[in-house]
Amino acid sequence: MDWTALWLSLRLAAWTVAILLPVSILMGRYLAYRQFRGKGLVEALVMLPLVLPPTVFGFYLLVAFGRASPLGEFWQEMFGTQLVFSFEGLVVASVIFNLPFAIQPAQRGFEAIPVEVREAASCCGMSPLASLWRIELPLAWPGVMTAMVLTFAHTLGEFGIVLMVGGSIPGETQTIAIAIYDRVQAFDDRSAAIMSAVLVGISLFTIAITFWLSARVGRRLS
Amino acid sequence: MGLEVTVRAEAPIPLDVAFRVEPGELLALVGHSGSGKTTLLRTMAGLWRPQFAQVRVNGSTWLDTAGGVDLPPHRRRVGVVFQSYALFPHMTALQNVMAAMDRADCAEAQRILDLVNLHGLAARKPAELSGGQQQRVAVARALARRPRALLLDEPFSAVDHATREKLYGEIIALRAHLAMPVVLVTHDVNEAQLLADRMVVIERGSVVREGTTAEVMADPEALRAMGIREVAAMLPAMIAEHGADGLTRLEAATGPLFLPTVDGAVGASVRVRIMAHEVILSRDRPVGLSAQNILPGRITRIVPGRGPAVTVHVAIGADEILSRITRRAAEQMQLEPGQGVHAILKTMSVARHHVAKAPATAADRLQGE
């Protein structure tokens, strides 16, 4: 059992969720309420990581993060490290490829709030921020919660993009999914089996938590 | 003082309307769906901004498109009861009311819930309340905002007839506590006549008629704009006796009036809406008629309409009722102002929802004059 890889995966997933939570709420809310030209294009762009082969997406990220790219250059100057083959690079990649999982369910959650309820909040004297906190978030919470759980679970399981952008450096970029692959390559079926089982356990646990939470919220609302 | 509204717009529908509501007064904006009345309400609330509009309340400006003033709804101190009520589904009735307060005050919220007859239901979620109860929570929430203006958008359209009658009575009773201008948006003329002090009739975005409820309801032109022949008068009366045969005897200035059972205790004041087209006129006191109500009075005015009908105003004591008859009948009977006539009203022609409790507000005394 490779605890280092598991710990790295959990850290990566936690960072991704932490960064995507505000993005999920703000973008989901914006896309749910606003009608604007090119909205379809923005929604398509958000969904793109879902349909692109991970290797293709990973390849573009690799190029974008490289020292020759403006982003890679900026990162190098700011932090003195390179973005590719580093944990930070992995977090950035993870945030990008999780966008569809983080935004879509939240958007659906906000879309389900009747527009008069939002208007009523504002007529009750609530500023947009107060309305978000007291009315919209509690009502859209099942959607936001689903988004975060999907993001967490998907980060644990992502393989292709992580391998392309991070390689497989133990303690830096070797996630549990990649560690399992490495174990299988080394004919260490026993370790691969244990780690796979642990991953199944964690995934089941997170999904169960989501169902339990959304059922609870559902009861609270109805 | 009061609420002053001026709106001119081309889209989404052409609008050119101005009106004013005094403190404590209830103004009904009456019109068909699509006439622009809801757009006016949304403009007052700050949920819609027309090309040109001014909304002033008690001298302070909420919206002035020319002057660049446009307060967002949460800074307008406006109470709105939405057609769908738009209660917060995750909050209890009490929390809904407290959500509209600047500083959450549980005791005060409880008091407001009592005011709208919701004692004992404070802990219920909206989904656990009936339509009528939800409407009461919506009214309580709008009042908890301590609004400078109270706006009601078709607040009775989502409940059944029986509940509606009860809610009318409650709104009338509540008016004694309301010192702010109140605007009621409705397509229901009966509702407007029972509840409002003044009416503004809107058709295709402009004002067809504006005046006291009695004036507007006596004006066939205004009513035609609403597509109805509902010219009607309001007659104040008192419940005198509930008969064993299902008839209630009311005492009005006109003498006794027999109607199908009217809700309320003996001695309670009510107002009865009498449809002009249900009133027959006779110069002599008729005998042998099945109609139970024969009211002697004097013709004050005969108002011709554009069609074949005329509206005859008949003073009965201090009150007035209207009769809508054909021009030909009026000529044959040689009716003239000053003449004595008998107005005949069929007992079953007054619908239950045309009887309402009499309000006890200053505004009502004005209307009675």
Q: Residue B308 gets which letter from DSSP?
A: S
Q: How far, in Å, CA of A181 to CA of B127, rounded?
A: 52
Average of per-residue pLDDT across B40-54: 95
Give the C-alpha separation, B275 to B257, whole Å. Answer: 14
End-to-end CA distance of chain A: 45
For residue range A28-47, what is the model confidence (pLDDT) as tens digits? Answer: 999 999 999 999 999 999 99
**Cis peptide leading into residue A138 (ω within 30°):** no
Spatial contact of A24 and A148, defined as CB atoms under 8 Å apart? yes
Q: Are B78 and A123 within 8 A, CB to CB?
A: yes
Using the predicted structure, report yes or no on whether residue B369 has a pLDDT greater than 60.
no
Task: Round to whole Å and give the CA distance between B201 and B318.
Answer: 27
Distance from CA of A128 to the nearest CA of B (A): 9
* Cα–Cα distance list, B267 to A24, A151, B293, B351, B357 (Å): 63, 69, 20, 21, 11
Q: B145 vs A148, B79, B103, B114, CA distance in Å?
A: 36, 6, 10, 16
Which has more pLDDT, B12 or B362?
A: B12
Of A125, A128, A135, the CB nearest to B88: A135
Contact A116 B45 (CB under 8 A): no
Which residues of chain B have a CB within 8 Å of the CB of A222? 89, 125, 127
**Amino acid B366: pLDDT:** 40
DSSP state string for B51-75:
SEEEEEETTEEEEETTTTEE--GGG
Contact A85, A75 (CB under 8 A): no
Strands B149-153 and B78-81: parallel
Buried b / exposed e along B238-260 (16+ C-beta atoms within 10 A): ebeebeeeebbbbebebeebbbe
Which residues, in sequence order, are bridge partners of residue B3?
B21, B57
Query: Looking at chain B, which residue has its C-alpha nearest residue A127?
Result: B74
Which residues lie across from B274 on neighbouring strands?
A: B233
Q: Which residues of chain B make contact with A124, given a CB cutoff of 8 A?
A: 74, 99-100, 141, 145
Q: Which residue has the tokens 């490290």?
A: A81
Q: In chain B, whose CA is at the least distance from the CA of A120?
A: B86
- The average confidence (pLDDT) of chain B is 87
* CA B293 to mean position of chain CA atoms: 26
Unique residue bearing structure tokens 């997170």: A206
Cβ contacts below 8 Å, chain A against chain B, sum to 70
Among B42, B83, B90, pick the best mutation site for testing chain A contact (most A Cβ within 10 A). B90
Question: CB distance B127–A222 less than 8 Å?
Answer: yes
Instruction: Indicate the burial class of B266 (C-beta count within 10 angstroms; 0-12, 13-18, 19 or more).
Output: exposed
Distance (Å) from the alpha carbon of B86 to chain A's nearest alpha carbon:
5
Mean pLDDT for B153-180 is 88
CA dihedral A131, A136, A139, A143 (to 10 degrees): -160
More confident residue, B11 or B251: B251
- Quick: pLDDT tens for B50-99: 999 999 999 899 999 999 999 999 999 999 999 999 999 999 999 999 99
Q: Give residue ranges of A with CB < 8 Å to any B CB.
A: 114, 116-117, 119-128, 130-131, 134-135, 138-139, 220-222
Length of chain A counted residue by residue: 222
Decide if A139 and B90 are in contact by the 8 Å CB cutoff.
Answer: yes
CB-CB under 8 Å, A220 with B88: no
Per-residue pLDDT of chain A (222 residues; tens, 9 = 90+): 788 999 999 999 999 999 999 999 999 999 999 999 999 999 999 999 888 998 999 999 999 988 788 888 888 888 888 888 899 999 999 999 999 999 999 999 999 999 999 999 999 999 999 999 999 999 998 899 889 998 998 999 888 899 889 888 888 889 999 999 999 999 999 999 999 999 899 888 888 887 887 777 666 655
Which of A124, A131, A216, A221 is the mutation pick for testing B, counting most B CBs within 10 A?
A124
The three-point CA angle B194-B198-B202 to 5° equals 100
pLDDT tops 80 at residue B38: yes
A chain contacts of residue B142, beta-carbon cutoff 8 Å: 123
The residue type of B260 is: P
pLDDT at A39: 93
Q: Give B304 or A98, the one with higher predicted confidence.
A: A98
Q: What contacts A35, CB < 8 A, 6 or more positions away?
A: none
- Give the integer Cα–Cα distance in Å for B98 and B113: 10
Q: Chain B: residue nearest A136 by CA?
A: B88
pTM of the model: 0.81
Closest chain A residue to the Cα of B124, Cα to Cα: A222
Question: Between chains, do A116 and B82 touch, taking CB under 8 Å as contact?
Answer: yes
What's the pLDDT at B364? Answer: 42
Tell me the residue type at B87: L
Q: What is the ipTM of this complex?
A: 0.82
B141 contacts in A (CB within 8 Å)? 120, 124
Write down the residue that tokens 């004097």 correspond to. Answer: B298
Residues of A in contact with B80 (CB under 8 A): 119-120, 123
Q: How confident is the model over B199-252, as pLDDT tens digits?
A: 999 988 999 889 998 888 877 777 777 766 667 888 888 888 888 888 888 888
- For residues B197 and B183, give the distance between their C-alpha atoms in angstroms, rounded to a whole number: 10
Could you tell me which residue, B308 or B124, shows the higher pLDDT? B124
Strands B340-345 and B293-304: antiparallel
